[in-house]
Structure 1
Amino acid sequence: MIRILHVITDLGLGGAEAMLHKLIAHHDRGKFIHVVISLMDLGVIGARLQTEDMEVYTLDCKRGLPTWQAIRKLRNLARQLRPDIIQGWMYHGNLAAWLVRQFASGRPPLIWGIRQSLDRLSNEKWLTRGVILANAGLSHQVDAVVYNAHRSLEQHQALGLSGKTSLVIANGFDTNLFSPSSMARATIRAELQIPDTVLLVGLIGRFHPMKDHHGFLQAAAELVRHRDNVRFLMAGDGVDWGNPLLDKWVKQLKLAEHVYLLGCRDDITHLTAALDIAVSASARNEGFANVIGEAMSCSVPCVVTDVGDSAWIVGDTGVVVPPGNPPKLAEALEALLGLSADERQRMGMASRARAVAEFSIKQTTDRFEAQYMALAT
């Protein structure tokens, strides 16, 4: 059995955290044992892993620089757990994984994971910039750097971040779990009291400037000026009426009767399947947006901004617009809303076919496990 020790920044509700959970949930239990260290607390994903009888350890760091106490705990875990392979997730997790290898006996192989694109280093906070540059400086010591997006690989290599091997492993999805569902559509529409004659456009993702919720709302405001049969669903951490910025934007744009702010939900599969159109409006730094793959798997047509690998993900099954351009986003949405239901359905079916062919969780897990086997021999 090969013991993989994953080191990740935190285990909250994020794309990297979700991908780690899926990888562990679908791994070959006859060949691999997975153990996780979170630099911060347990989080929602950590709690789920524990209920699935996975080993999860936390350092309970706060955001910012680690404490000596956390470093000592990391050293002790490195020696106690005796990993065969160490895998870092995200910039801070990568540095901590490098440190684990210094503490561990036998200098096990080290994999790093880069989960975002990097349009401009200057966009990052000063501490994050330092961590990214530290990644670049140490990357020649890393056995493999795994990116989830081709554009991310190109951008980081231009910065000097290049391990002994660099490769892209796209995010994967459970295409049986994320699938078309007339029942989910009916259930969500009944909950929100949305008539069948109204079209539902959704943006699912945590509240963060890079996700550009404001731009999405500006596009929505443009659409409702000449359409009364469209509503906009938004969900994710911080995406609720208790968010003062969202509340202000919705009121300023006169969208209160057209927008649903649902916050964190545990029925994302149902929300996604209930949509007529899914949107990824990210302005920057997206690598491989999970919400795009999930929507495609549910046969929901997508409009995405040209950030990270979003354009490549949808291929010819979706619509791509420039980031940070609400008028273009509104124009693309209007084009899809203007299609017949049959035309949107055909577009959605093509999206699902691409998701099943290219982005199944089995394919992703197989690619990671092939990398583990190559490094373990």
Structure 2
Amino acid sequence: MRILCFIDSLGSGGAQRQLVNLGIGFKERGHDVSFLTYHHEDFYVNVIINNAIKYTCIEEANLVKRLLKIRKFIRSGNYDVVISFLEAAVFMSEIAGFPFKNWKLIVGERSANPNIFKSVKLRLYRWCHFFADHVVANSHENIDIIAKINPLLPKSKYKVIYNMIDANIWAPSVRYIPNNGKLTNIVIVASHQYLKNLKGVIEGVNMLSIENKNKIHISWYGRKCVDGSYEEAQVLVDKYRLKPIFSFYDATSDILEKMQNADAVGLFSFYEGLPNVICEAMAVGKPVVVTPVSDLPILIKENGIICKSSNPDAIASALNSFLELNLDQRKEMGLALRRYAIELFSKEHILDKYEELMKSN
């Protein structure tokens, strides 16, 4: 099949990572795969080029001209399947298929943003799902949100397919040393946006006892966005004198090694689609400390620490609970999460699910 994967950019985000992984998987199965974006961010460009996948970026500042150029590109591409991720790309792919199309359109719903209910534009995007053949969400929470916004959309269009993880790559390291240096090392992988709740993490850490502050180190990997959250967080770190506890790094393509050497992986967002990084942490066999976003309570169950909410008190309580666990308890949590990850997120399982949709009538 000729498959077009369409997304805003090939930046370092979780949705981009998932679509790139899908594209590579389809290529390995013998499909003719191409990528289309409209912003030039090259974090994953070399990855797809090295896998002999074609790449086109249509950069156009004028929104109407951009839509028309992308519509023309898709309609003239002779594709069998178009898979689009993220709201604007999904919308443009749906408009490209109006009023008729001769390809199958699979659109992704990957965010549980509560502002969807307040925004006319975001609600309109979901009504355009009538033009898609399948709406794939990576959590049941996503499906519930879309069903509330667009109750007329047939349930037969909905499908939950979790994130794809190659458990042979995302695996524990034999070189991992628990509590290396007697510090509990927690890795957080998230871009710097208010919704990722760095401020809440800093406030929560500041509530820890001096004893527990001396037991923990947090390494945060992620690109800096333009909303000011990173700069405000640095002021807070200085104010509370927490510089010995926090280290901040740019996004890295070598995040696997960082996770393998961590004692736990954290995520403290206000809302998320299914967080890619937590799925990967599960596959690596790491215990996790997370807020109750998306399907994480269903997936993690008792094999991790789930904050009661995203407020600083709950974060402090969750961190304290994790610090109280002994090494055997942490290891058991990680092994259980890896078993779940292999069962739910395996590459072959996820690719099979997508191919079923591609071939369905």
Q: TM-score, normalised by structure 2?
A: 0.91
Name structure 2 gaps, 5 residues minimum.
none
Q: Confirm whether residue 263 of structure 1 aligns to residue 262 of structure 2.
A: no
Distance in 1 between residues matched to 2:251 and 2:41, nearest whole Å: 17
Q: Which residue of 1 aligns with 2:103?
A: 108
Deviation of 1:79 after TM superposition, in Å, equals 4.0
Pairs within 5 Å for 1:202-351? 202-223=187-208, 225-227=210-212, 228-238=214-224, 243-284=230-271, 286-351=272-337
- Which residue identity does 2:149 align to in structure 1? L
Distance in 1 between residues matched to 2:75 and 2:114, nearest whole Å: 38
Deviation of 1:152 after TM superposition, in Å, equals 0.7
Pairs within 5 Å for 1:123-272? 129-160=119-150, 162=153, 165-183=157-175, 185=176, 195-223=180-208, 225-227=210-212, 228-238=214-224, 243-272=230-259
Query: Are 1:109 and 1:143, in contact at CA under 8 Å, matched by a contact in 2?
Result: yes
SS class of match (2:301): helix
Cα offsets for 1:16-56 (capped at 9, x unmatched): 10000111122264552221211222431234212322111
Query: Are 2:72 and 2:96, in contact at CA under 8 Å, matched by a contact in 1?
Result: no
Cα offsets for 1:236-291 (capped at 9, x unmatched): 1129xx9422321211221111111122222200111111121110112x010011
SS class of match (1:316): coil
Cα offsets for 1:120-172 (capped at 9, x unmatched): 4367xxxxx34422222222232110001100100111011635511100001
Deviation of 1:196 after TM superposition, in Å, equals 2.6
- Which residue identity does 1:52 align to in structure 2? N
Q: Confirm whether residue 34 of structure 1 aligns to residue 33 of structure 2.
A: yes
Q: Which residue of 2 aligns with 1:126?
A: none
In structure 2, the CA distance between the partners of 1:266 and 1:78, relative to structure 1 (3 Å rule), is closer
In structure 2, the CA distance between the partners of 1:168 and 1:148, relative to structure 1 (3 Å rule), is same
Deviation of 1:323 after TM superposition, in Å, equals 3.1
Deviation of 1:361 after TM superposition, in Å, equals 2.2
SS class of match (2:265): strand
Query: Are 2:35 and 2:56, in contact at CA under 8 Å, matched by a contact in 1?
Result: yes
- Which residue identity does 1:341 align to in structure 2? L
Distance in 1 between residues matched to 2:145 and 2:336, nearest whole Å: 30
Paired residue for 1:85, among 76, 81, 84?
A: 81
Distance in 1 between residues matched to 2:170 and 2:22, nearest whole Å: 16
Paired residue for 1:66, among 52, 56, 63?
A: 63
Query: Are 2:202 and 2:233, in contact at CA under 8 Å, matched by a contact in 1?
Result: no
Q: Confirm whether residue 21 of structure 1 aligns to residue 20 of structure 2.
A: yes
SS class of match (1:244): helix
Distance in 2 between residues matched to 1:195 and 1:146, nearest whole Å: 41
Distance in 2 between residues matched to 1:195 and 1:274, nearest whole Å: 9
SS class of match (1:43): coil
Query: Are 2:190 and 2:196, in contact at CA under 8 Å, matched by a contact in 1?
Result: yes
Distance in 2 between residues matched to 1:334 and 1:243, nearest whole Å: 25
Pairs within 5 Å for 1:364-375? 364-375=350-361
Shifted more, 75-84 versus 297-306: the winner is 75-84
Distance in 2 between residues matched to 1:82 and 1:176, nearest whole Å: 35
Distance in 2 between residues matched to 1:374 and 1:152, nearest whole Å: 22
Query: Are 1:304 and 1:311, in contact at CA under 8 Å, matched by a contact in 2?
Result: no
Query: Are 1:114 and 1:147, in contact at CA under 8 Å, matched by a contact in 2?
Result: yes
Name structure 1 gaps, 5 residues minimum.
124-128
Query: Are 1:293 and 1:313, in contact at CA under 8 Å, matched by a contact in 2?
Result: no
In structure 2, the CA distance between the partners of 1:283 and 1:57, relative to structure 1 (3 Å rule), is same
RMSD: 2.3
Query: Are 1:307 and 1:323, in contact at CA under 8 Å, matched by a contact in 2?
Result: no
Distance in 1 between residues matched to 2:115 and 2:73, nearest whole Å: 35
